[in-house]
Amino acid sequence: MKIAFPTQEPRGMDSPLYGHFGSAPSFIIVDDSSGSFEVVVNEDAHHQHGQCQPLNAIGGKPINAVVAAGIGAGALFKLNSAGIKVYRAIDGTVNDNLMLLKSGKLPEITMDMTCAGHGRQGGCVH
């Protein structure tokens, strides 16, 4: 399974997660079976509010899941429509959240859990 993690800085598996999917500067895409990963710069980071194009944000790379601290309803809908599940991240690194996802401890994000706007430093208003 390939999983995208929005990150502030691309530091591999030790990258801290960014607070909001759509405005993240970069993504770490992890192949959980091989342990390999790649960095993708978010070319859609400066979109207008509500106009996130999540598949463009991840550079059109094929993924099966996203782990994010926050995400807007439009982006969640577009990802889910493409068959991509989105899980709620905790504070920590890509590796921390990957371990929790593998152990079934991260909840899937539903529409009632999406962001209502952006707070300071790219965080979400839930």
pLDDT level of residue 116 (50, 70, 90 thresholds) = low
Residue type (1 letter), 3: I
Cα angle, residue 45 at apex, residues 43 and 47 outer, rounded to 5°: 105
The pTM of the full predicted model, rounded to 2 decimals, is 0.87
User: Structure tokens of 121?
Assistant: 């430093």
**27-77, pLDDT tens digit by residue?**
999 999 999 999 999 886 655 555 566 777 888 899 999 999 999 898 899
- For 78, phi and psi rounded to 5 degrees? -65, -40
Q: How many residues are there in the chain? A: 126
CATH architecture entry for 2-122: 2-Layer Sandwich (3.30)
Average model confidence (pLDDT) for the chain? 87
Q: Residue 26 belongs to what H/E stretch? A: strand 26-31
Residue type (1 letter), 22: G
Q: What is the DSSP string of 57-87?
A: HTTT---SEEEES--BHHHHHHHHHTT-EEE
Alpha helix positions (H), the chain: 54-57, 73-81, 94-102
- For 119, phi and psi rounded to 5 degrees? -100, -160
CB atoms within 10 A of CB 41: 12
pLDDT of residue 43: 81
Number of H-type helices and E-type strands within the chain:
3, 5
**79-96, pLDDT tens digit by residue?**
999 999 999 999 999 999
